[in-house]
Structure 1
Amino acid sequence: MKFVVWPNEIDGRISRKYGRIVRKEVAVDSPTPLEIRDAAEILGMKVVEFYPDKLNPRLSGLDENLRTRGMMRIESPYPKGKSLRMIAEKIRELRARKRKSSRKRRKK
């Protein structure tokens, strides 16, 4: 199934009123379109279209620092809700791995 993914759908700083779909415990703060694309590809989902500068119309009433740009159309074997949870968890895992490797470099 194909669906559109906006970064605010997995952003923990955004309320459900402004489009967050996943639970707050699963959501990540300030996900970038590139992180979402990378996580989706790692999970075996296909990114059909990618627009890093598009802004979700729902975010027009928010402060500029809460607006996350980007839109992508993803093809996944899973429904949208499950796919978004998987992407958010993968981003969390990738960020933790990145932090861990940067700490190791500083210690040496």
Structure 2
Amino acid sequence: MVSRGEDKYVIWPIYFDNSISRIQGRKVSKKYAVDKPTVESIIKAAKSLGLNPTLEKDRAFPSRHWRKEGRVLVDKKESKRKLLVKIANRL
């Protein structure tokens, strides 16, 4: 489990899903959102940005606990918002 003091951000695929509303959990604008993002595509994008990604496969977004889509942990190199947009640009 990642705690607040650690130097990692948690990135969920739902943050980039264009079929999800902001209220449901999407974090990037529709302009940057993609269709059915995967943890594998997020890892590839994060690696290309030098964010040292780590996959946690059997994790579920809290409001969708029945879907174990996984999550990605990345280094905190700048604000989470800026990192999400950079990752989204590479998806």
Unmatched 5+ residue regions in structure 2?
A: 1-6
Unmatched 5+ residue regions in structure 1?
A: 92-108
TM-score by length of 1: 0.70
The CA RMSD measured in Å over matched residues stands at 1.8
Query: Quick one: percent identity of the two aligned structures?
Result: 36
TM-score by length of 2: 0.82
Q: Tell me how many residue pairs correspond in the alignment.
A: 85
Alignment match, 1:13? 19
C-alpha spacing 1:20/1:13, structure 2 compared with 1 (3 Å)? same
Deviations 1:49-101 (A, max 9, x none): 311232111125xxx8xx5711121104121111111111101xxxxxxxxxx
Deviations 1:19-78 (A, max 9, x none): 10110111111111000001000011111x311232111125xxx8xx571112110412
Which structure carries more helix by proportion?
Answer: 1
Structure 1 residue 6: deviation in Å?
A: 0.4
